[in-house]
Amino acid sequence: MPPTHLRTRMSVATGRLTARLSRATGLGRGGVIGGRVTLKLDPDVLRRLGRERTVVLVTGTNGKTTTALMLTRALEALADVASNGDGANMPDGVVAALAARPDAPYAVLEVDEAYVPWVAAQVRPAVLVLLNLSRDQLDRVGEVRGIERDLRAAIALLPRTAVVANCDDVLVTSAASAAARPVWVGTGRRWSGDATTCPRCGSAVQHAAATWHCECGFARPQPSWVLEGELVTTPGGRDVDLDLRLPGEANRANAALALAAAHCVGVPPHTAAARLRTITDIGGRYRTVRRTRHSVRLMLAKNPAGWAETLRVLDEDTPVVVAVNAQEADGRDLSWLWDVHFERLRGRQVVVTGERSADLAVRLCYAEVAHWTAADPVRAIDSLPPGGVEIVANYTAFRDLVDRLPSG
């Protein structure tokens, strides 16, 4: 459905031109810059671009890009889907994604947690997916409990939205409890580091086996979708074998949430699961690239919860390069390095790099992990003996690497 409003049409055209210019001149990733111009021209553009399509929003601290890609693949079984697969998840990136595909009847958009209230109020999503909430770039978007309260308030204003939520995450459950139509998904995944006190009353939340509760009565709801190992059980009691090509439990949790969300829009779970199996990498993540003497697997980890997952996925006998930056998009504060269990890297060959390699080196030193420092991530790879290399980088370090390494 093309935007019919004249001002919207003009501003979208200008936005597209800017995006093309930005790409052509190499000034930036066209998506974000184009969207920023569009928003300046017309603050209502998001509402008009979202109107008359079925919009699915995906948010959470970790797994947004992965889950949004999964949902995009699943919904493509129905029709064309607009999406911000480039990970540009601020309002301007969202606008750019919708403007790029004005005719697509579906849209799957990952949205930064802090911007969900604003974006959701404009596009009135059919489905909102809440993955998890933990600390990420505290210096930039405020503390995670404030995010939860804002999400909860926003969800209360969306009575027609199906809220698909991971009920093993206490903060997610608190936010989604405000929904008129919650769809609870038991993923078995929890990062309890940020949620030991109850978001409702401040007492300690008690965790036991597969469940949790607080003395105030706030407790884990009964899920209608349940992930166990590779199997997702649907509300109808059928089992779907995920058999993903992406590694790790976190990706299986993302897939379970994606199946539930796709089902809300009308894609049968078995159809969706088959489409998820075609995904081999996420914007370069998990992809293996070849350099002359090395075969390098690229991984992104930008906060303690993401690192906990990555440490489980790393191949045991392969050397590891860790790249850490502290640009604005990464968060300026590196305290989180001390919440990562780097001790698990003991006994491997480890190279530290990135703009804040000195902070990382101190952390590894106290973890008693032998390591050396390379000034530059590509040189870090070359400093290792020929063979496989696992490289783990945080946000801007990863982005720079993807640009510098050969694709495919």
Partner 1 sequence: MADSTVRIGLLLPEVLGTYGDSGNAQVLCKRLQWRGHEAEVVPVALDSAVPSTLDVYLLGGGEDTAQVLAARRLLASPGLTRAAETGATVFGVCAGLQILGTRFRGLDGADHPGVGLLDVVTAPAPRRAVAELAVVGGLIDTPLTGFENHQGTSTLGEGSVPLGRVVRGTGNGDGTEGAVTGHVVGTYLHGPALARNPELADLLLSWVLGHELAPLEVSEVDVLRAERLATLPRRIR
86 binds partner 1 (CB under 8 A): no
Residue 345 in tokens: 């890297």
346 binds partner 1 (CB under 8 A): no
Q: How far is the CB of 174 from Zn ion (least distance, A)?
A: 9
d(CA 267, CA 109): 17
366 binds partner 1 (CB under 8 A): yes
Q: For residue 198, which of 171, 223, 176, 160 has the smallest C-alpha distance? A: 171
Q: Is the CB of residue 327 less than 8 Å from the CB of residue 396?
A: yes
CA atoms within 13 A on the CB side of 402: 20
**Of 139-147, 191-199, 260-268, 306-314, which segment contacts Zn ion by CB under 5 A?**
191-199
Nearer to partner 1, 342 or 395 (CB): 342
Partner from Zn ion, partner 1, none binding residue 216, C-beta < 5-8 Å depending on class: Zn ion
Among 301, 337, 351, 401, binds partner 1 (CB under 8 A): 337
The residues near 309 (Cβ < 8 Å, ≥ 6 apart) are: 62, 248, 249, 250, 301
Q: How many helices (H) and strands (E) does the chain have?
A: 15, 17
Beta bridge partners of 206: 213
Point out the annotated binding site for Zn(2+). 198, 201, 214, 216
Q: How far is the CB of 188 from partner 1 (least distance, A)?
A: 21
Question: x/- string (CB under 8 A) for partner 1, residues 114-153?
Answer: ---------------------x--xx--xxxx--------
Size of the site for partner 1 (CB under 8 A): 33
Partner from Zn ion, partner 1, none binding residue 286, C-beta < 5-8 Å depending on class: none
365 binds partner 1 (CB under 8 A): yes
Task: Determine whether 333 is an active site residue.
Answer: yes
Q: Is 271 exposed, middle or buried (0-12, 13-18, 19+ CB in 10 A)?
A: middle
> Which amino acid is located at 292 in the chain?
T
Q: What is the footprint of Zn ion within residues 211-250 (CB under 5 A)?
A: 214, 216, 218
Q: For residue 338, which of 111, 135, 99 has the smallest C-alpha distance? A: 135
280 binds partner 1 (CB under 8 A): no
Residue from 44, 241, 315, 333 carrying the catalytic annotation = 333
The residues near 121 (Cβ < 8 Å, ≥ 6 apart) are: 154, 157
* DSSP structural state of residue 292: S
145 binds Zn ion (CB under 5 A): no
Partner from Zn ion, partner 1, none binding residue 214, C-beta < 5-8 Å depending on class: Zn ion
Backbone angles phi, psi at 398, to 5 degrees: -65, -45
What residues line the site for Zn ion (CB under 5 A)? 198, 200-201, 203, 214, 216, 218
Catalytic positions? 333
